[in-house]
A and B are shown apart, each in its own frame.
Chain A
């Protein structure tokens, strides 16, 4: 057994170039599968993070069309402070934050006789401190705003609102929010948020730049005439919520929809009857993104698998050539006492050695190659100016694929060797010896 194995190695060594080229086929096949799957899982993880708008248990509640995928609009103001309060009491809802959108016309800052202003419309998020939990935002400097006070929290990139020549904004500064009617409201910056880890077009849209308390800033009312007196009721177009934990997201979602459709809800009165209440969970978003990325990765992996199969055919091909070429040697080995099993093993070991070596080298090259490929993707993302996404792509190895590719490589070697080895073992020694 050991001797036949040694003889197999000897044969492979005596055909160095041929063995190397055959090996190369397997290495490329396995390397390709590993690079594609690992780069795929790295990019998937990266893209997933871009789509992490909320806390993992987070969700956005609005109106629209329920379904798969749901269509959610955050423009119909239907939710009242009463709803917010009641939703917060549901058993599987951990926190709830209203989303009141306040468009502004610009920002101003005064310091003695100096004036800075920045015009440009943007949207201020009016909510409660729970919004920071739902959106996974952290205060880097300062603290969270208090309700009922003229306090705001700004995002990190807002620091340079007034450009390089203007003063950088800091905690304690007072600025003025210029409203659409050109009147200004005073606001004291009490906190600055941490920059999000991955910055992209997607989360730029979703991340607020200025967050303020509902009172005193949010002034979106729905008139309600009760007993001849016009009551002004604050209404929000959307709500953010989190579930108590990852296992109760569905329950929280069901409870929210259940409440909103119940008679206790105010929202049902303000809602357009043709629309539904819609909840979009972070879990659902990630599932959808995963699904899409999974299909793409699977497709490319299938292509890479073809190269592995081609590598296997390469082994079989070269083994057949070797067996034919060595017909006479096979006859000699039989004449000096080699059994059919010995001859069979001699060739099976050769293909197995090629398969195994190819698998191991392919796994190493695939692993190293993944780093390069992921870095290349990263650099290319940078070339788009970070418009779509930027940041460091984590290298995540698809270990199950690495294991599978290595196993398939070894298996390919064995299978590719079976037919040529059988051909060798079945030779008639008399005929083989006569072979020129």
Chain B
């Protein structure tokens, strides 16, 4: 495996005020994630896995600690520089798909590109290419409400890929899908992973562990184990 580091965290800590006390959502987390890895992050509710995802996804800032994404340190960056990193380096896939309801599938996929300032025809051809890759190019003009859950999630994955990001962050991507459709989505993610994208996937579902090649277990804001998974097939 290529050993190029894509994400490096050093002593990440996130503290939320909670009444008089403080709540440590992340407690001194250090980890390295390499290019092309498919990481499954597991842990009970409140273990800090979502907070970790938000910080790695540059949606949130750590209270202390350092984070490097694709070689770029994010400490001290402005809101708009963080937005740029999200745009350039990260792609998000959410449990509830999070498509913009009044935009067609095609325009949803093209959205990150429009924030980047790419010309309409270029971003639409790119978006179409992504939809084709997800096997749903025929739904390009449909609104999210006209698509099934599985189809919506494919649109969301296409959107996450549109910017050609270094990292795909997926938060319970199969949580709202039945198991057959969920499997299709996971298969797609595995294909993407094999093409060299780094994927971080947060889940409760132990059945998804088999798709990854490393599992990180969290509890009380700490990583309690990180082990390489032997592929079953």
Contacts and interface: CB of A to CB of B under 8 A. Distances in A.
Interface stretch (A47-55, A187-195, A266-274, A331-339): A331-339
A331 to B, nearest CB: 8
B98 to A, nearest CB: 5
A336 B111 contact: yes
B100 A334 contact: no
9 contacts: A329-B101, A332-B100, A335-B57, A335-B86, A337-B86, A337-B115, A339-B115, A428-B60, A433-B94
B211 interface: no
Interface string A359-389: 0000000000000000000000000000000
Interface centre among A328, A329, A335 (most CB of B within 10 A): A335
A342 interface: yes
A16 to B, nearest CB: 11
Given A10-B102, A332-B99, A337-B163, 20 more contacts: A3-B114, A4-B114, A328-B98, A329-B100, A329-B101, A332-B98, A333-B111, A334-B59, A335-B86, A337-B83, A337-B116, A338-B83, A338-B115, A339-B80, A340-B80, A340-B83, A342-B115, A429-B59, A430-B59, A433-B59
A11 B94 CA distance: 23
B112 interface: yes
A339 B115 CA distance: 8
A3 B98 contact: no
Interface in B31-78: 54, 57, 59-60
Contacts of A247: none
Interface string B87-119: 110001010001111110000000110111100
Interface of B: 54, 57, 59-60, 79-80, 83-84, 86-88, 92, 94, 98-103, 111-112, 114-117, 120, 159, 163
Contacts of B87: 336-337
A329 B101 CA distance: 9
Q: Main secondary structure on chain A at its contact with chain B?
A: helix
- List the 3 closest A-B pairs by CB distance, nearest first: A337-B87, A14-B102, A336-B112
A10 B57 CA distance: 28
Contacts of A91: none
B203 to A, nearest CB: 17
Nearest to B120: A3
Contacts of A340: 79-80, 83
Given A3-B120, A328-B98, A430-B54, A336 B92 contact: yes
Contacts of B57: 335
B60 to A, nearest CB: 5
Contact of B84 (A3, A4, A337, A433): A337
Interface string A294-333: 0000000000000000000000000000000000110111
Contacts of A433: 59, 94, 98
Contacts of A430: 54, 59-60
